[in-house]
C-alpha cells in the first residue's frame, strides 16, 4: 500500500483523500495504535490524526490509542496531546499514552545488536552487545499501527523521520545511547543533512528486529513541511512495513534537502536563535547550536546565542539534568577523556553536551580547551549555573533584535528549525 502526496502547499483536502485510500485498503478493524512525534515537533500531525480518526470511526473502530514517541524527552500533558493530534481525550474510544523510556515494565526485548556491528558503527569505541527494547504496546492486540512523523535535517541521524520514530522514539535507553554516541563520533558537521550514516544504520538495524516481531499491518505516514508563521504542509508519504519506511524516508529526505537548508554569503560572527515555547529545556533547545555547525558557517570565535527566556533547566528529568551538570558542555576530545575516567557515564548525555558545545580541541596535560565558537545561553538559567557547565551567559532582558542587524550577524526566528550552510557548497 503506497500513497505519495505532494503539493505547494499540500491541502487538508488532499491529505484526507490520501487517508481515504489508506483506510479503504484496510479490512475490519476495531483497535488501532497511532504512534506520533511529541510536543517539540511543530508539524501537521493534527491534520492527519483528526481526519484519520474520523475515517476510522466511520469504519467502526472501537478504540483509538495514541503513543507519544518521546525518546528521552519529557512526557506530554493531556493539553499537549489534544493540540498535537487535534483530538479531545473525551471523544469516543480515544486513549493517550506516554512512552516511559526509563520504565523496564513498559518495554519488551526484541533482540540485540552484535558487538561486531556496534564496533563498526562506533569506529571501535564500543564493542559490546546492545539489547533492543521498545514499548510493549507495539505487540498488544491491535489490528493496525500507524506511525506519524516528519523529516527535517537532524543533528544525530542526518535527517529526522523514517524509522527514527521507533528508535529512539519508543525505545529503551541502551540503544538510544548507542546511536547517539555513533553520531557524535562522526560529528554534526559531517552528519547533519546526510541520508546514509552510521547512526541511521543503527536505527535501521534495530528497527528491523522490531518489525520482524510485529505481526500486523503497519504504516508510515512521513510528513515534510515548512515552519514559517504557521506550518505549511508540503508532502505526505504513506507506505507499508519496514521496506516502506525506508522508501518513504528517502523520498522525504530528497524534498527536505531542498526546503530546509538556508545558504549564507559569508561566515557569521553572531547568530541569535530565537527558541520557541515547544523547546522548553536546553536538551531540545540545543538545536539552536546544532543547525549552525556546518564548517565555516560560524566564524572563528563567533557567538551562537540561544535566546529562550522561558527555559529554566537543562533537562526536565532530574537524573538527566544532574548528569549534564556533572559533566558540563565540552568538545569531543574532553568528553572521551572524561569517559575513560567514568566509563559508566550516560552516553546519551555525553553526546548531547558535545553536540551543543561544538567543535574544539582539549589538551589533557594542561586541561585547556579551545573552541571554534562560543555558545551562550540567554535563558532563565542563572549566570553562575551557565558558567558551571562551561556555557556563556547573556541577560535575556537586554537582547534586542536591532543590535543584530549587521552583515555578520543573523537573527533567526523561529530558531532551531533550519540548517545553515555557505552558498559555496550549494548543490
Q: What is the pLDDT of residues 278-293, one digit of tens each?
A: 899 999 999 999 999 9
Q: Grid coordinates in use for 314?
A: 537543562
Give the per-residue pLDDT at 35.
98
Answer whether residue 426 shows pLDDT above 80.
Answer: no
Contact status, residue 329 vs residue 386, Cβ threshold 8 Å: no
Give the ranges where 260-346 is alpha helix by DSSP (H): 282-285, 287-290, 318-327, 332-341
**pLDDT tens profile 17-34:** 999 999 999 989 999 999
Residue 306 to residue 288: CA distance in whole angstroms: 6
Q: Closest by alpha carbon to 37, among 55, 54, 49?
A: 49
Give the per-residue pLDDT at 227.
84
Average pLDDT over residues 168-188: 86
Give the per-residue pLDDT at 266.
95
Which H or E run includes 122?
none
At 335, is the pLDDT very low, low, confident or very high (cuts 50, 70, 90)? very high
Order of strands across the sheet with 217-227? Answer: 3-6, 231-240, 217-227, 144-150, 31-36, 63-68, 94-98
Contact status, residue 348 vs residue 321, Cβ threshold 8 Å: no
Give the per-residue pLDDT at 404.
97
Answer whether residue 192 shows pLDDT above 90.
Answer: no
Q: What 8-state DSSP symbol labels residue 147?
A: E
- Cα angle value 129/133/134 (rounded, 5°): 150
Contact status, residue 233 vs residue 15, Cβ threshold 8 Å: yes
**pLDDT tens profile 343-375:** 999 998 999 999 999 999 999 999 999 999 999
Residue 357 to residue 335: CA distance in whole angstroms: 11
Q: Report the helix count and the strand count for the chain, using DSSP H and E.
A: 14, 20
Give the per-residue pLDDT at 72.
79
- Regarding predicted confidence, which is higher, 154 or 139? 139
Q: Examine residue 9 and say whether the peptide bond preceding it is cis (omega within 30 degrees of 0).
A: yes
Of 115-119, 144-148, 171-175, give the range with the top mean pLDDT: 144-148
Contact status, residue 63 vs residue 95, Cβ threshold 8 Å: yes
Task: Kindly give the interhelix angle for 347-357 and 332-341, rounded to the nearest 10 degrees.
Answer: 160
Which H or E run includes 330?
none
Residue 9 to residue 198: CA distance in whole angstroms: 33
Contact status, residue 277 vs residue 418, Cβ threshold 8 Å: no
pLDDT above 90: percentage of residues in the chain = 83
Question: Which residues, other chains included, contact 364 with Cβ-Cβ below 8 Å and sequence gap of 6+?
Answer: 337
Would you say the C-alpha torsion 161, 164, 165, 166 has a positive or negative sign? Answer: positive
At 427, is the pLDDT very low, low, confident or very high (cuts 50, 70, 90)? low
Average pLDDT over residues 162-185: 89
Average pLDDT over residues 145-155: 94
Q: What 8-state DSSP symbol labels residue 136?
A: G
Answer whether residue 106 shows pLDDT above 90.
Answer: yes
Predicted TM-score (pTM) of the model is 0.85
Give the ranges where 223-317 is alpha helix by DSSP (H): 241-259, 282-285, 287-290
Domains, the chain, with CATH or none: 3-259 (3.40.50.11440), 264-425 (3.90.226.30)
Answer whether residue 310 shows pLDDT above 80.
Answer: yes
Amino acid at each position: 500500500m503506497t500513497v505519495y502526496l505532494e503539493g505547494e502547499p499540500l491541502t487538508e483536502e488532499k491529505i484526507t483523500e490520501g487517508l481515504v485510500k489508506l483506510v479503504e485498503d484496510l479490512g475490519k478493524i476495531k483497535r488501532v495504535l497511532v504512534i506520533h512525534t511529541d510536543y517539540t515537533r511543530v508539524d501537521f500531525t493534527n491534520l492527519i490524526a483528526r481526519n484519520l480518526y474520523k475515517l476510522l470511526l466511520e469504519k467502526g473502530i472501537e478504540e483509538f490509542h495514541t503513543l507519544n514517541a518521546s525518546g528521552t524527552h519529557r512526557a506530554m500533558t493531556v493539553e499537549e496531546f489534544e493540540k498535537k493530534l487535534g483530538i479531545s481525550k473525551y471523544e469516543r474510544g480515544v486513549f493517550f499514552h506516554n512512552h516511559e523510556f526509563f520504565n523496564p515494565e513498559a518495554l519488551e526485548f526484541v533482540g540485540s545488536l552484535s558487538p561486531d556491528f556496534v564496533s563498526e558503527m562506533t569506529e571501535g569505541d564500543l564493542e559490546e552487545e546492545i539489547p533492543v527494547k521498545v514499548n510493549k504496546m507495539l505487540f498488544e492486540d491491535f489490528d493496525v499501527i500507524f506511525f506519524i512523523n516528519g523529516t527535517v535535517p537532524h543533528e544525530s541521524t542526518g535527517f529526522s523521520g523514517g524509522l527514527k520514530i521507533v528508535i529512539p522514539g519508543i525505545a529503551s535507553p541502551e540503544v538510544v545511547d548507542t546511536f547517539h554516541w555513533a553520531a557524535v563520533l562522526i560529528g554534526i558537521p559531517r552528519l547533519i543533512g546526510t541520508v546514509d550514516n552510521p547512526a541511521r544504520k543503527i536505527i535501521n538495524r534495530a528497527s528491523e528486529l522490531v518489525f520482524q516481531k510485529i505481526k500486523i499491518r503497519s504504516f508510515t505516514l512521513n510528513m515534510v513541511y515548512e515552519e514559517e508563521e504557521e506550518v505549511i504542509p508540503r508532502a505526505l508519504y504513506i507506505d507499508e512495513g519496514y521496506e516502506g519506511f525506508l522508501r518513504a524516508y528517502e523520498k522525504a529526505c530528497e524534498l527536505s534537502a531542498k526546503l530546509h537548508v538556508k545558504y549564507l554569503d559569508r561566515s557569521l560572527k553572531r547568530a541569535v536563535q530565537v527558541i520557541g515555547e515547544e523547546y522548553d529545556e536546553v536538551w531540545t533547545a540545543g538545536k539552536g547550536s546544532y543547525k549552525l555547525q556546518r564548517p565555516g558557517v560560524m566564524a572563528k570565535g563567533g557567538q551562537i546565542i540561544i535566546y529562550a527566556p522561558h527555559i529554566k533547566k537543562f533537562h526536565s528529568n532530574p537524573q538527566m539534568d544532574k548528569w549534564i551538570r556533572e559533566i558540563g558542555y565540552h568538545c569531543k576530545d574532553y568528553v572521551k577523556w572524561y569517559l575513560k575516567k567514568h566509563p559508566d557515564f550516560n552516553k546519551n548525555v555525553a553526546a548531547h553536551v558535545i553536540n551543543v558545545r561544538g567543535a574544539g580541541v582539549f589538551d589533557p596535560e594542561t586541561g585547556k580547551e579551545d573552541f571554534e565558537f562560543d555558545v551562550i545561553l540567554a535563558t532563565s538559567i542563572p549566570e553562575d549555573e551557565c558558567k558551571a557547565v562551561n556555557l556563556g551567559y547573556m541577560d535575556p532582558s537586554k537582547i534586542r533584535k536591532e543590535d543584530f542587524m549587521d552583515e555578520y550577524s543573523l537573527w533567526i526566528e523561529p530558531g532551531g528549525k533550519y540548517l545553515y550552510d555557505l552558498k559555496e557548497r550549494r548543490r
